[in-house]
Every structure is written in C-alpha cells, then in structure tokens.
Structure 1
Amino acid sequence: MILEFLVEDVDKEFTRVKEALGEFVQEPTAMPWGNRSFLFRDPDGNLVTTLPRSLQRRSRSSKAKQALCPSSRIDSKCTAVA
C-alpha cells in the first residue's frame, strides 16, 4: 500500500516531520516530471509519499483532459482545431 499526502510545501513538511520520523526512504527530491516529494514508511511498513498540492491538481486535470480529448490537435476547451 502507498499513502499519498498533498501538502502546500514539501520541503517545509519534511523539516517539520524529520525528527519525529528519523529514517526516510527518500529525502525531498525533484522528480523528472517537475514535482518534489519525499518518502518514508509508517509503523506498519506502508510507503508514504508527500506531494505538492498545486502540481497534483495540474497533473490530474491534464490526465483527465488527455483521456477525454486524446487528439494532439485540441484547444483548451477540448474542441478540435482545424
């Protein structure tokens, strides 16, 4: 199981929780697709990731639009461009 938490500032959350958690799977890292995240395990061994709220919203809306409007010749309102 992987748990995801959306936060305003990944680095600020890391600073807030690092003493309490102690060990991390991955400290804050910039991902190739543009967001930052850090990973740790909860007491039951589940992987927990922390992601920036703003990039998560853009990512989901972009994925939803691609699912609804798969053509590369689509404008911002999901209408065909001649």
Structure 2
Amino acid sequence: MLKARIEQAFKPLNCEITEQLSSFDLRIFDLVTGETRLVVTGMHIGKLESPSSVDELISELGVELRLTTLSGWPPER
C-alpha cells in the first residue's frame, strides 16, 4: 500500500522500495531514462502508522524532489 501511494503521488516517475526489518530505503527515478531523482535511506516504518503520516511523508518527499531536481516537480501537465 505504501509503495502504491508513493508511486501514485510521483507519477510519471517510478519508485523502488527496499524494506529492512524496521526501516526502508526509497529511490524515485525516471523509468524511461533510468535517471535517479531522489534516494532516501533508513526511513522508519513505524512512523507511518496512519494515512496522515503517509501523506506527510509524500509531502516531504515532494519538497526534497523539487530541491534536488533541476527540471522541477511536479511536471507541467
């Protein structure tokens, strides 16, 4: 569910989530070019217990993505 919500929020980019015991790593990338746009490691799964905490994470990832992407985010529609 977490991966699906993150993928939906950042379309047309893709995301790859690698789960550990109590944390996960996230990579947001362009599927066509393979270009990595954002990597975040060691995020604690326990902090994502409610829909609002997942929404907050997505919002924070969006800010990070805008700061690290030259072309900006979200894409022009």
Give your verdict on TM over 0.5.
no
Q: Which fold has the larger relative contact order, with Cα–Cα distance below 8 Å and residues 6 or more apart in sequence?
A: 1
Radius of gyration: which is bigger? Answer: 1
TM-score by length of 2: 0.28
